[in-house]
Amino acid sequence: MNPATGEQVGAVSVDSAGDVAAAVARIRGNQPAWEALGFKGRRYWLNQLRDWLLDNSDLIADTLKAESGKVRAEATIETPYLADQINFYGAKAEKFIGEQKIRPSSLLSASRKLRLQYRPHPVVGLISPWNFPLVLSMGDAIPALMAGAAVIMKPSEVTPLGLNEIVDAWRNEIGGPDVITVVNGGAETATALIDHSDYVGFTGSDVTGKKVMARAAETLTPVSLELGGKDPMVVLEGANLERAANAGAWGSMLNSGQMCISVERVYVEDGIYDEFVNRLTAKVDALEQGVDGDTAACDVGAMTMLSQLEKVEKQVDDAVAAGARVLTGGKRGKGPGQWFEPTVLVDCRPEMSVMEDETFGPVVTVTRVADEEEAIRLANDSRYGLCASVFGPRGRAERVARRIEAGAVNVNDIIFNMLAPSLPMGGWKESGIGYRNGEYGIRKYCRSEAIVSARTLLPSEILWYPYTEQRHKAVSAVTRFIGGRGRRRFR
Ligand code: NAD
């Protein structure tokens, strides 16, 4: 269903647990040949995918726009993101997970040749949300594929079409090896995927993330969890207020606020509070909300899920009933379609749901603080810790940034960490476990295997049978020497 118009745009059939088992068995059978292609061979196929994505980005953007209710400007950013991921991991995978020689740490280990190889979990299962349907599915599949894994993806049941188009193209237009597949459905399909995969990458809410981890624990399947956030933004005296207000407006309303790293709480030092609030409110008030065509005429799109719209509405209504003030927006927009007006709230208290729970909608709260200590305390007063931003004179802002409890902090900037594939991105606290991007973003899909080779010339057999008195004395002398040397060296 197109959330901006209420019209049906397509249909997919739901895959049963049996369908998931069969799909996993199929790609599992093809995975060894994919791994055997090596980095170069796998990069060749992913480059074909990149070229197809770039050649078909308008087609894909149309699908994303229709299934999610995004505005055009936001529907067009997903395919370049995927292309960037392919370029990054295509170039870096071997450096990150190629075989490594390990330096011996002592005389004892110097008697062996030590190496470490990384082998992929054969089948990686990915479960994704609806807010960035390709970035959070295919985007995470790219490093897994570069690592040599086969990948099964379950997109959100609300936005399955774009990903299905890409997997169809991989199969039918690109002719790539049958190591990428997609299954459709809700919780039941996802549960079967967890049961049959060797590694599960989940992106979604903290509530579902905990269920995923519990299910995966039954088969001791490793997981990474990219969950929700309640991102704070701190504005210090001396900040460029125009830049901070622009960042606050974009960072909170981007994708209708349906973004894990959306700015939801702004803390502003007393002396600049009024001016910041006026500027931010004027900017949010001026945003154009609606359905655009082929030109990027609108700023803010629809709410993708009705239940999410209802949650946002309840948070705002409850806050207002408890004394919060709406400076702009504050209510549903007119249908057809699912809309919530871009909203600025002030006079919120920490115990309100709009301050404690993830909103995931076009709502930003602004709170006055006495100084940076109060800003840091309130910013950290959350069960989430995904991302944050700090605006102010660089030295002071960076000092504050280092004290914020979050997986990433942008200084005089917003959301940018997500666009730097070389930087790991992951949540602290209930925002998740593990990381995407960077070195860890591919290594997580691998198991490490230590390869230890004896050097024949050295007397390595001294430790083995038979235990004679002479050998025992020799071993004791060697171990005393190693231990004693350590004691002298590392005081
Ligand atoms: P959700 O948790 O409701 O659903 C996510 C996925 O889990 C969907 O594919 C859904 O079908 C599946 N699912 C549902 N029940 C399941 C179960 N019992 N077991 C396994 N899978 C199940 O989340 P959503 O509403 O689709 O997405 C919004 C959430 O995603 C927000 O909390 C947002 O912050 C989070 N998110 C996080 C990141 C990140 O990188 N940290 C990025 C985007 C979105």
Place of tokens 């231990």: 483
Q: Is the peptide bond before 336 cis (omega within 30 degrees of 0)?
A: yes
Contact status, residue 345 vs residue 351, Cβ threshold 8 Å: no
State how far the Cα of 340 lies from the Cα of 257, in Å rounded to an integer.
10
In a domain, 59, yes or no: yes
Best of 205, 221, 226, 254 for a ligand 1 pocket test (most atoms within 8 Å of beta carbon)? 205
Let me know the angle formed at the C-alpha of 148 by 142 and 150, rounded to the nearest 5 degrees: 75
pLDDT class for 295, splitting at 50, 70, 90?
A: confident
Nearest to 203 by CA among 133, 295, 112: 133
Ligand 1 contacts CB of residue 156 (under 6 A): yes
- In this predicted model, what pLDDT tens digit does every residue of 129-179 receive, in sequence order? 999 999 999 999 999 999 999 999 999 999 999 999 999 999 999 999 999
Is 405 found in the same domain as 363?
Answer: yes
The number of the ligand 1 atom at minimal distance from the alpha carbon of 427 is 41
Distance 172 CA to ligand 1 centre (A): 29
β-pair type (123-127, 150-154):
parallel
Distance 324 CA to ligand 1 centre (A): 29
Contacts with 62 (C-beta within 8 Å, 6 or more apart), sequence order: 75
Distance 205 CA to ligand 1 centre (A): 4
Provide the domain limits for residue 218: 17-227+438-447
- In this predicted model, what pLDDT tens digit does every residue of 322-372 receive, in sequence order? 999 999 999 999 989 999 999 999 999 999 999 999 999 999 999 999 999
In a domain, 152, yes or no: yes
Structurally, the chain folds into a number of domains equal to: 3
Is 241 found in the same domain as 216?
Answer: no
The number of the ligand 1 atom at minimal distance from the alpha carbon of 228 is 34
What percentage of residues in the chain have a pLDDT greater than 70?
A: 99
The number of the ligand 1 atom at minimal distance from the alpha carbon of 154 is 9
Distance 446 CA to ligand 1 centre (A): 24
Is 207 found in the same domain as 152?
Answer: yes
Is 342 found in the same domain as 290?
Answer: yes
Ligand 1 contacts CB of residue 34 (under 6 A): no
Is 220 found in the same domain as 248?
Answer: no
In a domain, 431, yes or no: no
Active-site annotation, residues:
226, 260
CATH of the domain at 339: 3.40.309.10
Is 265 found in the same domain as 202?
Answer: no
- In this predicted model, what pLDDT tens digit does every residue of 269-284 receive, in sequence order? 999 999 999 999 999 9
In a domain, 204, yes or no: yes
Is pTM beyond 0.95? Reply is yes
pLDDT, mean of residues 178-188? 98
Instruction: Locate 311 and state its tokens.
Output: 């949650």
Is 164 found in the same domain as 260?
Answer: no
Is 421 found in the same domain as 462?
Answer: no
State how far the Cα of 291 lies from the Cα of 296, in Å rounded to an integer.
10
**pLDDT reported for residue 482:** 79
Contact status, residue 223 vs residue 216, Cβ threshold 8 Å: yes
The number of the ligand 1 atom at minimal distance from the alpha carbon of 226 is 41
Ligand 1 contacts CB of residue 208 (under 6 A): yes
